[in-house]
Amino acid sequence: MPMPLTGHTVRVLVGAEPKRVLTREVPEVRVSLEGVMGDRHAGLTRKADVRTPWFPRGALVRNSRQVSLVSTEELALIAAALEVPQVQASWLGANLELSGVPRLTRLPPGTRLFFPEDAVLMMEGENTPCRKAGRALEPFYPERQALASRFVKAAHQRRGLVGWVERPGVIRPGDAVRVLLPPPVTYSLP
């Protein structure tokens, strides 16, 4: 039987301002089936964009990007690759910073995260690094050249995950997180 995969919540954050990447640390977040309450990404639906090219841009689609998670360990790797002292979860617009889950960004779609006070999050997949998130770092390191473009490479497979709320609840710093991987899938064409 495989060892249980667990970690813990380091920070919980909310980004209420629609046009800003930055989030702010709070003592707890309540999650509903619409996402992190008070966060700009909450909602049952969102508009299709570059991440959903199979739909016309602006079409309403299910919001599978209600929650953004990053890893303490992966943030340190990004900072080292950028040669800066640190990269904080709030600078990247994350809702949760987790620690102790090896290679968090590489968890497969369909992974569930269970928190002590009922909340369950379903992971959709990697939050692909982009220049917009890289530009959010620039004010913290104005002396660093081309930080936005360098961020994309530095954060590849380290940027964290996005997902949606499967079960409402409360998430706080220090909470244990139980990770349930989806069953392996085998698929072959006839």
pLDDT score of 2 more than 80: no
The predicted-structure confidence for 32-49, as pLDDT tens digits, reads as follows 999 999 999 999 999 888
- Does residue 170 or residue 62 have the better pLDDT? 170
Cα 102 to chain centroid distance, Å, stands at 15
Fold of 7-180: M1 Pyruvate Kinase; Domain 3 (2.40.33)
Least confident of 45-49, 69-73, 104-108, 131-135: 131-135
The pTM (predicted TM-score) of the whole model is 0.91
pLDDT at 3: 61
Least confident of 19-23, 27-31, 74-78: 19-23
HEC per residue, the chain:
CCCCEEEEEEEEEECCCCCCCCCEEECCEEEECCEECCCCCCCCEEECCCCCCCCCCCCEEECCCCEEEEEHHHHHHHHHHHCCCCCCHHHHCCCEEEECCCCHHHCCCCCEEECCECCEEEEEEECCCCHHHHHHHHHHCCCCCCHHHHHHHHCCCCCCEEEEEEECEEECCCCEEEEECCCCCCCCCC
pLDDT score of 83 more than 60: yes
pLDDT score of 4 more than 80: no
pLDDT at 20: 84
Q: Which two tokens stand for residue 86?
A: 């640190």
Domain boundaries along the sequence of the chain: 7-180
